[in-house]
Amino acid sequence: MRPSAGLNSLGFAKPPAETRVVVAMSGGVDSSVVAACLAEQGYDVVGVTLQLYDHGAALAKKGACCAGQDIHDARRVAERIGFPHYVLDYENKFRESVIDEFADAYLAGATPVPCIRCNERVKFRDLLETAKDLDADCMATGHYIQRRDGMDGAELHMAADPNRDQSYFLFSTTQEQLNFLRFPLGHLASKAETREMAAKYGLSVADKPDSQDICFVPNGNYASVIEKLRPGAADPGEIVDTDGNILGEHRGVIHYTIGQRRGLGIGGLGDPLYVVKLDPEARRVIVGPRKALSTRIVPVGEVNWIGGGSFDSGEEREISVRIRSTRPPRGAMLRATGPRTAEVELLEPEEGVSPGQACVFYETGGTRVLGGGWIQPRR
C-alpha cells in the first residue's frame, strides 16, 4: 500500500511510533513477516495469537495453524523482533462459531468452507474487537489480498500474485471491518519474496511449510472428525440413480461430495456415474451422468455486499464469480432476490456446484471484490 502525502504506510496522519497495530499472528511465515516488517518501520506492534483448538492434538499435527507449535513459533518471532505478544484462548468461540457448524453442514449434505467462517466470526469479529480494546489504530494480517482506498472508502482487491490470492476466503469481510484492517503482503509478486524477507529478519519460520487442509481436521479426514462430533453421522444408506433405482449401499452420506466419481463401489454399470445430490434425511446418495452436474443458475444466501451502492436495488449486474477457490472467476449475471439473497446466472455452465461452498463476486474485468454469499440447495 502506497502512503498518500502526509500519511504513513498504514494510512494514518501520524508517525509510525504513534500508530498502534495489532498483528494477527498464526505462527506461519506470512503473519510473522508482517509483524517484523511493521516493527522495523517503527510502528507500535502488538502480536496476538489465537489458540483455537486442543493443544495436545495439535502438537502431533504438522501443517496446521493456531495451536501447539505455531503458538511457540509466533512467540519466538515476537521475542526476536522485540514486541509484546499475547495468546488468547478462543477454543470455545471457535467450536461454537466454526466447528459445530462445519459438522452440521456436512450432516445436511453441504460442503462447508470453515476457513471463511473462521475469518468472518473469529478473526475479523472477535479478534478485531480485541484489537480495538487494545487501543489499536488498525489490525494487520498476513492474508494475500489488497486493500485500496477508493472514491467511497476502502475497497478489497485480489492479490497481485494470482497463485496466492485469498479473496475467495475473505468475501464476507464487511465495510466496517475493511476500514480497520490492513494487508501488507497483498502487493507482493510471489511467496518467494515473503520468505526472502523472513530470512532477512532472521526469523526461524522462514522455511516453514504453508498450512494445509483444515486446521482441526487431522490428515484431511473430515468424516472421522464429524463422527466424533456427531455420533451416528456415518450411518449407511442407499446409492440411487436420478430415477430412484437402487444401485448399491454407501457407508454414510458424510463420506461423499457433489461431483465425486471414485470410491462409489458401483462400477461396471456402463457410463461413469457421479454424485449429483445428497439427501441426508433419507440417507441417500444420488448419482447420475456427468451432464447432470452441469449448473447455470446458482441460488446464493447470506450475501455480503461491499461493492458500493445498494445491493438489492433491483438492477441486474454483470459480474464475475468464483464458485471454487481453485477456479478462476467466470462471467455471470447477478440478480438480487432480497436484502441478502441472490440468483447468479453463469454465462457458461459449471460442474460440481455444491451447497455450502462460497460464491464470490468480482468486478468484471477487474480485481475488485464486490462481496459474495453461500451457495444454497436448489429446490
- DSSP labels for 209-234? PPP-S-TTSGGG-HHHHHHHHSTTTT
Mean pLDDT of 113-125: 90
Mean pLDDT of the chain: 90
Q: How many CB atoms lie within 10 A of CB 207?
A: 10
Q: Work out the average pLDDT over 55-73.
A: 60
pLDDT band of residue 55 (cuts 50, 70, 90) is very low
Task: Please identify every residue annotated as catalytic.
Answer: 118, 215
Gap between the Cα atoms of 374 and 379, Å rounded: 15
Tell me which long-range contacts 317-320 makes (C-beta under 8 A, separation of at least 24): 318/364, 319/361, 319/362, 319/363, 319/364, 319/370, 320/361, 320/362, 320/363, 320/364, 320/365
**Homologous superfamily of domain range 16-142+184-219:** HUPs (3.40.50.620)
With contact defined as beta carbons under 8 Å apart, do 33 and 201 qualify? yes
DSSP assigned state of 290: G
- Residue 67 above 90 pLDDT? no
pTM assigned to the model: 0.90
Residue located via cell numbers 494487508: 183
Residue 314 has pLDDT above 80, yes or no: no
In this structure, which topology does domain 293-375 adopt according to CATH?
Elongation Factor Tu (Ef-tu); domain 3 (2.40.30)
**pLDDT confidence of residue 4:** 63
CATH 3.40.50.620 in the chain, residue ranges = 16-142+184-219
The pLDDT, as a whole number, for residue 151 is 87
Which regions of the chain carry the CATH code 2.40.30.10? 293-375
Report which of 334, 327, 317 is spatially closest to residue 354, judged by C-alpha positions: 327
Mean pLDDT on 50-73: 65
Best CA proximity match to 306, nearest among 174, 214, 187: 174
Q: Which residues contact 353 (CB under 8 A, 6 or more apart)?
A: 258, 293, 295, 298, 323, 375
Q: Which grid cell is 359?
A: 460464491
Reply yes or no on whether the pLDDT at 2 is more than 60. no
At residue 74, the pLDDT reads: 95
Instruction: Give the whole-number percent of the chain exceeding pLDDT 70.
Output: 93
Strands (E) located in the chain: 20-24, 44-51, 85-89, 138-140, 145-150, 153-158, 181-182, 237-241, 246-250, 274-279, 284-288, 294-305, 317-322, 330-338, 341-351, 358-362, 368-375
- pLDDT computed for residue 221 by the predictor: 79
Report DSSP letters for 153-169, one per residue.
EEEEEE-SSTTT--GGG
Share of the chain above pLDDT 90, in %: 66
Fold classification of 234-288 is SH3 type barrels. (2.30.30)
Q: What are phi and psi of 198, to 5 degrees?
A: -60, -40
Query: What average pLDDT score do residues 88-100 get?
Result: 90
**Interatomic CA distance for residues 31 and 45, integer angstroms:** 12
Q: Which of 129-143, 208-222, 309-323 has the lowest mean pLDDT?
A: 208-222
Res. 165: pLDDT tops 80: yes
Tell me, what's the pLDDT at 3?
56
CATH 2.30.30.280-classified regions of the chain: 234-288
What does the alpha-carbon distance between residue 128 and residue 121 come to, in Å, rounded to a whole number? 10
Q: Which three cell numbers stand for residue 11?
A: 494510512
Burial 235-263 (b: 16+ CB within 10 A, else e): eebbbbbeeeeebeebebbbbbbbbbeee
Average pLDDT (261-267) is 83
CA dist 211 and 220 (Å) reads 12
212: pLDDT strictly greater than 80: no
- DSSP structural state of residue 4: P
Residues 24, 18 contacting (CB under 8 angstroms):
no
- Determine phi and psi for 176, rounding to 5 degrees: -65, -40
Cα 334 to its chain centre, rounded Å, is: 22
pLDDT band at 58 (very low <50, low <70, confident <90, very high): very low
